[in-house]
Each structure stands twice: as C-alpha cells, then as structure tokens.
A and B are shown apart, each in its own frame.
Chain A
Amino acid sequence: GDSVTQTEGLVTLTKGLPVMLNCTYQTTYSPFLFWYVQHLNEAPKLLLKSSTDNKRTEHQGFYATLHKSSSSFHLQKSSVQLSDSALYFCALSETNTGKLTFGDGTVLTVKP
C-alpha cells in the first residue's frame, strides 16, 4: 500500500534560519502530494499541494517541489518565524479515491 515517510520527528530552530522538512513516499499510482500544518489544538490545514513533477509550489513563504524521480516532496522556508511553530504533515493521495495517507509528522519549534 501507499506510505509516507517523514524522517524528522522534531526540529528546533532559531528565528530567521532556513528549514527543510523531509518527505518521501511510495505509491503505485500517480502521486498527489500535500503538506498540512496543524497548530496546537486545531485542525490540520492545507499548506501546499502538487501533482506536477519538478514544479515548485509556494504558499505563505513555504515552498516544495515534487520530484517523482526520487519520490520526494520536501518542505522548505528560507526564514522561519515564531508563528511557524506547529506540527507539519506530509500526505499522499490516491488519485482514484482521494484517500489520504499521512506521514507521522514533524514538530517544528522556532525559538527567539
């Protein structure tokens, strides 16, 4: 079945530094990838999505590029802010059902 791997469980950074959160996936279908962000006691909210190979997608200062050759969709930001502290999930959708498979998530903590 489909799977998503996020290698970092916890990332702690100082404000203003760049960040990259890793996401790799496995699927036999054409991939549709998402990044969701979840703040404490809130619902997960869509941050980015992509199904186009080698095309960068951006939102709220975050960006990611789907690379089908390496089955990756890493999330990046050039300068993190305190408000970016949250739980980040990478997710993979089956193109025929819309079923979403999530990675275990990465907690990003940004310090002053």
Chain B
Amino acid sequence: EAAVTQSPRNKVAVTGGKVTLSCNQTNNHNNMYWYRQDTGHGLRLIHYSYGAGSTEKGDIPDGYKASRPSQENFSLILELATPSQTSVYFCASGDAPGQGDNQAPLFGEGTRLSVL
C-alpha cells in the first residue's frame, strides 16, 4: 500500500536550535514536497524535489533547507529555528500529471512543530 511516513510526529524545539524533519516514501514516486499548514493560509509549499539529489525552492523557502539523498527520503532542515516556524508540516510524494499513474500527491500524517 502506498505510504508516506513522517518523523517525528511531534517536536518541541528551542529558538536558535537545529531541527530536522524526515520523510520516507515507499511509492517509488519521483516528486516529493514539503508544505506547512497554518490557520488562514492553507498549505504552502516550502521545498520540493524531482528526484534523488535535487531540491527546488517552493513559495516560502526562507529559513528552510531541504535534502533528498535518495528516491525514498526527503528531509526538511531548520538551521536556526524561530517561533514563526511553529506550524504543522506535511510531506507528500507523487508524480507530475502525465508522468506516472499517481497524478495526485499522497500526504504523510504531518509533524506538529513548536518552537519556544
């Protein structure tokens, strides 16, 4: 069964600390995405990737880095966490329309991050 797994599910971090959010997919999807969800803003794209070794900036990349070391794994890195990065983060994987059978990204269960 197609799955996207995020870890940790909950995280409390201190301001200025480094945070790494991990995402694993077993769907053999080329594309992976990181979104954050805040009340009143819906889902906003932070970074995405077309495949191992590639990362692209999304709509709100400032303060975030991404890493795609393999087809299956995609990490989101907050080098210096700030309270404004308190949010729920969702990872997703999928294929671009016309490039595969899964033409709608599949989402993980989310990571709730609090930066104090």
Contact = CB atoms under 8 A, between A and B. Distances in A.
Nearest to A94: B96
Interface in A79-98: 89, 91, 93-98
Nearest to A101: B45
A98 B42 contact: no
Given A89-B42, A99-B58, A42 B96 contact: no
Given A43-B90, A46-B104, A100-B105, A32 B42 contact: no
A44 B36 CA distance: 12
Size category of the A interface is 20 to 34
B86 to A, nearest CB: 16
Contact of B110 (A43, A94, A99, A103): A43
Contacts, number: 63
B96 A44 contact: no
A109 interface: no
Nearest to A104: B42
Given A44-B107, A45-B107, A95 B42 contact: no
Interface SS of chain A: loop
B104 to A, nearest CB: 5
B33 interface: yes
A44 B43 CA distance: 10
Contacts of A98: 31, 94-97, 99, 103, 105
B108 A49 contact: no
Given A34-B104, A49-B104, A44 B48 contact: no
A112 B97 CA distance: 39
Contacts of A94: 96
15 contacts: A1-B59, A42-B109, A43-B107, A44-B90, A49-B103, A89-B43, A93-B103, A95-B96, A98-B99, A99-B33, A99-B45, A100-B45, A100-B92, A101-B45, A101-B59
Interface of A: 1, 32, 34, 42-46, 49, 51, 89, 91, 93-105
